[in-house]
Structure 1
Amino acid sequence: MRARSLGRTRRGVVSVLVTAVVAVLLAAPAAAAPSDQPGGTSGVLDSEALDRLQRRAAEVQADLQQRQTEVAAARQQLADAQADVDAARATVDAAEGELAQHRSVVARYASAVYRDGGALTPLTVLLTGGDPADVVAALGYLEAVDAHTTEVVGAAEQQRRTAVDRQTSADAVLAEARQRADRLAAEVAELEASADAVTAELDVALGDVDRQLSDLQRQQVDVNTQTAANWRAYLGQLREAGVTALPAAELLDLVRGLPAGLTPIGAAAGGAQRGAAQQPRRPLSLLVLPAETLAAVTAAMDALGRPYAPGTAGPDSWDCGSLVSTVYRDAGIDLPADQAGLFAVTTPVDPADVLPGDLVFLGTPEAGLGHVGIALDAQTVLAADARAGAVVVRRLPADQVVHVGRPSLGPRPEVPAPGPVGGALRVECGNTVYPPSFDGARAWGGYPNGLIPPSALCPIGVGGHSLRCDAAAAWRAMSAAFASAFGQPICITDSYRTYAGQVRLYGEKPALAAVPGTSNHGWGLAVDLCGGIDGFGTPQYAWMVANAGRFGWLHPTWADPGNGREEPWHWEYAGG
């Protein structure tokens, strides 16, 4: 659906006056001409050059993922072949030992005969024999001894030969396994070289992105600052005019009338708007909003500049739905905490009648609902914006407005939010939500894994380590609590890991490191720790297990003891 423009000409003298007042009070953000992606980087990250490089990186990642499985299988085959060779060699050693033992017995027998007068043969028995019966008995004894000796030594020799044949076969299998492992190692080395080549080009592109991002962020700070100043000026005008903040309920019933000194605001379609009023003044009337709306917008102004992070609900970071829900809940109006839920229950107003504090829902016919923010005037909105990576003031794209609602009017019967059609991807808080994959799909802020501009991250105050801004804030709080218990902050060895860093680590430890472009380190959401936390059973590790969750940090199950890949040092941020 294509929504009506917010810029429709208002009807009636009262409407014109109110429009002028709102424009005067909140004109600075629009005059400051914020970027269409304020503080964000969509104009850069959507370039063909970077997309082409990212596709090349994705191809390398996919190949490395496939090779990693093959390498693991080859290593297992090599280990099995080596075990078979070792077992065969042990069998040969045992057989040769047994044969040597039997030969030793025969040698001792021969030596004893020699010591007793020479070799004992049938001839010597006949020549030295007395009683014929004794001679016959001696000859039978010799035949039995010779036959047993031949049988024992022959059996031992056959056992040795069988063992040698087994060892020869095992050696051949081992040689073949080594050749396969070497061949795969060479292929992985080639892929790592390709990853290095892509990384070098990505680093150059990332540097350009970061410079442009820094410029946009400086502009965004100016816009945010001026907007907050305008809002404070408006609140000051209300005080100076002696306007008492009124609850929304007193501005709803236009039939019974408004409090003394206030008059209705005209609606674009005729009649008057519910949920707001004006105080007639010269040269312009003064807009009077409900106390709940004033409190909610003021709280939202205080959140400007805070980082955007999906699934979080303040105070250090927000997503678009949680910001709206929280500021209105604290003001006394309960609302759902997600964009679809907000759409479902917020009572609509004509887009041409938008007032500060109204909720503006953005979307497209293909992707459906994709964003929600708090209107400041007909041109600007305050929102926790995924593309900007922060709570910002941004322009309203009029052609993407699918719904405008006024929380002070109370809820409506639920209406399903429009969703994606034709296989389009879902959009959340202004950012496309890509399915999980190993192709470097863009997560928060629209950045690929390991390719987040430094300006979009926040330092944690230790060396050059940085994380996503909400994770960094949570880290600092957790480290301070840890220092209270142990007298020193948390020791850290690794935090955000660039794509290039992931490539290097994979080359060094392919069996342990994640495939480049898939690590949580590459989202700025994982750390590797030291100073006692890197050992199970230590007081420091026990403290983390007991307390990290309070700060949104957890130890992933795969890294727990007994799960095959024990890493006590690895911790991940899961949100507040």
Structure 2
Amino acid sequence: MHGCSSDRGRLPLEGTGAAPSAPPSALGAPRRGRTRAARAAGALLVVGLALGLQPAAGGVDTAAASPRTPSQSEVDAARAAAGDKAGQVAAVQAELAAAQAALDTAQVQAAVAAEAYDAAATELATRTTAAQSAAVAALDAQQRAEQARAAVGRLAAGTYRSGGGLDRVSAFMSADGPQDLLDRAALLDVVSQSTDRAYEQLRAAESVAGLLQQQSAEALAQQQQAAAAAQSARDAASSAADAATAMVATTQQRSADLVAQLAQLQGISTALAAQRQAGLAAQAAAAADAAARADRARRQASAASSGSGSGGSGGSTSSSGSTSSSGSGGSGGSSRGSSSGGAASVPSGSSSASSSQAAAALAWARTQIGDPYEWGATGPDSWDCSGLTSVAYRGAGASLPRTSSQQYRAVKKISYDDMRPGDLIFYGTDPDDPSTVYHVAIYAGGGEMVEAPRTGLDVRETSVRYANSMTWAGRV
């Protein structure tokens, strides 16, 4: 294009008259020099005219189009706007984290309330059985007392019909010889002893009947107290479950709104913002699990080095091959500890189930996957966490108490590194206090577990999570 422009620019300068210019050989060197100078000048003139006739872009001077250096006030304003946006992003993310933390707390409270109801219901069942047994025993004692009273009555009636003269003096006076006298004396001794025994039996039967009636009344009162406590626990569990369920819905809606705000602030799509937030949540859950594993390893090592307790194994430095992700009866006890530090001894407990029984319990629990969670439920179509584990082991021929707290007290405490399929994983608000246990799951191997998780979720097999887990796992 540049060559074509040069050609067009040359034609008017070379053709000023009708005759063409002479060949260079006829004009000589001076002529060639003047022609080249004229051509150069003409080219410059044409370019200048072209530039002068071309309008400036946007109707402004070309000098005005040069880059402008922003003022310091503009720079400060831009920085302030960027900082404000970053602050808004941080605030929204903090609110998302707070909403999730509040939901987690509500779900733990619901699990604790459900565990309290399980314990109250178990206590009620125990008290009801005791009251029924006491009532039966009291009724039996009352019947025995009535029988003793009837026997004494018959003796009294016989004495009355004989005129009351069967005493030793009348017997001696009416005796027909020495042998008859001896026989009558022996008969009087038998009658006297029989009467004495009858009165003694009556007094004993009445005493026992009175005592058992008192025990029955006390057992009935305890049953009524247990029933009231169970009803109160049931109400609390229902309220906590309803609150957690409602919070799930509100948290999901609030989280969706906040993610939309994040997307707008960050200039990305809502889907991308949600994906990023899910990634951040997963990172936070992984960090919490890692912290829980490290704390548990420290506690186990401390307990093992103390050499106290029984039923536990050595310390653990890692969890058993898992990937982390975000739920009155037993024997034994525990030195109470604190989640923030302090050494606690290995709690006592015992193991009676074989590995094949543990595997059978796990296999049965897997057949319940998909059944709904229901607090207080022990099957056959819905379960809570400890209902699932207790019935699973009952079917495998092993005994396990009803509640998760009772189960933790009863089982042998083992390191998480030593877990085998069928062992139990417990969760509590204090990792060294059995009374705070509120959830239990069955270890399935390969970093997985089977659990009846919480209201709104079905029985499932999922990755083991270690946040809020107790210091020790358990072997039935």
Give the TM-score, by structure 1 length. 0.31
Greater relative contact order structure (CA < 8 Å, 6+ sep): 1
Computing the radius of gyration over CA atoms, which structure comes out larger, 1 or 2? 2
The structure with the largest helix share of the pair is 2
Q: Which has the higher strand share?
A: 1
TM-score (norm 2): 0.36
